Amino acid sequence: MRARPERPRDPGFRVTPGGSVKAEGLGDGSTACGGGHRQAALDAATRQNPQFQVLLDRIYAAVLPEVADLETVLNTTDPQQLELLFAFADEVRRRFVGDGVLLRGIVEFSNICRNTCWYCGLHRGNRALPRYRLTKTQILAAAGNVHAAGIKTVVLQSGEEDNLDADELRAVIEEIKSSLEMAVTLCVGERSRAEYRFWREAGADRYLLKIETSDPELYRRLHPGMSWENRTRCLRDLAELGYQTGSGNLVGLPGQTLRHLAGDIQFFRQGDFDMISVSPFIPHPQTPLAEAPAGDLLLTLKMTALARIVSRNAHVPATTAIGSLHGRDERPRALAAGANVIMPNFTPAPYRQQYEIYPNKRCVSDDARACPPCIERMVEALGRRVDYSRGDRMKME
């Protein structure tokens, strides 16, 4: 995607004489999670797994990490190695994006979709799903609620509508930019370069388009009628047009191997994305993958950690899907494994339930205003704080 400068080879982390993962130059001897107990465990883990520590350093320093190295990390179930991985990612996160957890308010303004992605509950063949599209007034009211919660980014998300009215979306963007002064992130799928330019000129700041899987063959199998080449064309166009561009993947797709996931990490590294979102696949009963097993939480956390390690200063969400898998909110574990963003949902009832990309999405029955205080409690329990700034691109121009 974007041309990127060579990276310094020095990882900037050292295994200290005491054996701990320690960032140089912080001066306070502080470590990933603090606490003497945790530190002693990390020291022991480092002493007993010197090769694994070298492996993490190598992945961090590499211009393009080796598939074999990434697979080794994705394969491990050793508790000490996992501890080292998450501590390393947490330290990279702390060093490059700090302790703040950024909030992005999502408004899912339409669930109409022309595509037939095999994993997604919004696919056009799902006749059981009532379809909706919010009016301009409704979208602006929801964006106003995001603003009133003190959040400075609104994500306007929809299915990939055939009849998306580019002028109307432009009018929404302009209105939000002029009256609310928030960052606007679009997530409306594959579009022409002309449309991307049109919305960028209206003031849209950012765009999310997950690659879902970086493997063209697996991509082809799961996305009938779509093309991997067009998706990567979109990502290139978006970056060239000056959008802060986000991508991401799904973990645990049927047919997906660790080799594919290693390729996803390489894709993230090469794409130099401003945002990277890693979600577990959650089967939806109204899809061809209804009977497939859900993605594995631990594997998703390992992918989150690796995304952090290779991207350094990208914004990495603790995804809603991580918070929804198996009905438990595991987002704190993602926040402790490299993530620095949470995306509360501001889609108004009753539509929120109808944006059902997967079942049992968390917070669908809550009042949107309940999420920010709940997230504050979650974040503070980790010794971090919610950061109410816009959270713009941190990549170098």
Residue numbers at the binding site for ligand 5AD (CB under 6 A):
119-120, 210, 212, 250, 279, 281-282, 284, 321, 357-358
The H-or-E segment that residue 347 falls in is none
By three-state DSSP, how is residue 279 classified?
strand
Q: How far is the CB of 366 from ligand FES (least distance, A)?
A: 5
- Output the CA angle 362-365-367, nearest 5 degrees: 105
Choose the contact partner of 265 out of ligand FES, ligand 5AD, none; CB within 5 to 8 A by kind. Answer: none
Please give the size of the binding site for ligand FES, defined by CB under 6 A.
7
Among 162, 370, 380, 381, binds ligand FES (CB under 6 A): 370
Nearer to ligand FES, 105 or 189 (CB): 105
Nearer to ligand 5AD, 126 or 340 (CB): 126
Q: How many CB atoms lie within 10 A of CB 194?
A: 9
Choose the contact partner of 235 out of ligand FES, ligand 5AD, none; CB within 5 to 8 A by kind. Answer: none
Q: Does 376 bind ligand FES (CB under 6 A)?
A: no
Secondary structure (DSSP) of 358-389: STT-TTTTS-GGGHHHHHHHHHHHTT-EEE-S
Nearer to ligand FES, 202 or 375 (CB): 375
142 burial via Cβ count (<10 Å: 0-12, 13-18, 19+): buried
Choose the contact partner of 366 out of ligand FES, ligand 5AD, none; CB within 5 to 8 A by kind. Answer: ligand FES
Q: Does 149 bind ligand FES (CB under 6 A)?
A: no
Nearer to ligand 5AD, 65 or 317 (CB): 317
Q: Does 44 bind ligand FES (CB under 6 A)?
A: no
Query: What is the rounded CA–CA span in Å between residue 114 and residue 32?
Result: 44
Chain position carrying tokens 């999502």: 106
Q: How far is the CB of 250 from ligand 5AD (least distance, A)?
A: 5
Secondary structure (DSSP) of 67-130: HHHHHHHHH---HHHHHHHHHHHHHHHHHHH-SEEEE-EEEEEE-------TT-TTSTT-TTSP
Q: How far is the CB of 276 from ligand FES (least distance, A)?
A: 21
Query: What is the rounded CA–CA span in Å between residue 149 and residue 169?
Result: 23
Among 84, 176, 375, 386, binds ligand FES (CB under 6 A): 375
- Output the CA angle 137-353-390, nearest 5 degrees: 55
Q: Does 317 bind ligand FES (CB under 6 A)?
A: no
Phi, psi at residue 175, to the nearest 5°? Answer: -65, -45
Whether residue 274 contacts residue 315, with contact meaning beta carbons closer than 8 Å, is answered with yes
Whether residue 106 contacts residue 346, with contact meaning beta carbons closer than 8 Å, is answered with yes
Q: Which stretch binds ligand FES (CB under 6 A): 8-16, 92-100, 154-162, 370-378?
A: 370-378
Q: Which two tokens stand for residue 4?
A: 């990127």
Q: How far is the CB of 385 from ligand 5AD (least distance, A)?
A: 28
Choose the contact partner of 186 out of ligand FES, ligand 5AD, none; CB within 5 to 8 A by kind. Answer: none
Q: Does 318 bind ligand FES (CB under 6 A)?
A: no
Q: How far is the CB of 207 from ligand 5AD (least distance, A)?
A: 12
Choose the contact partner of 120 out of ligand 5AD, ligand FES, none; CB within 5 to 8 A by kind. Answer: ligand 5AD
Nearer to ligand FES, 337 or 371 (CB): 371
Q: Which stretch binds ligand FES (CB under 6 A): 30-38, 66-74, 273-281, 366-374?
A: 366-374
| Segments of 152-297 assigned E as strands | 153-158, 183-187, 206-208, 244-251, 275-280
By three-state DSSP, how is residue 58 classified?
helix
Nearer to ligand 5AD, 120 or 146 (CB): 120
Q: Which residues bind ligand FES (CB under 6 A)?
A: 344, 363, 366, 370-371, 374-375
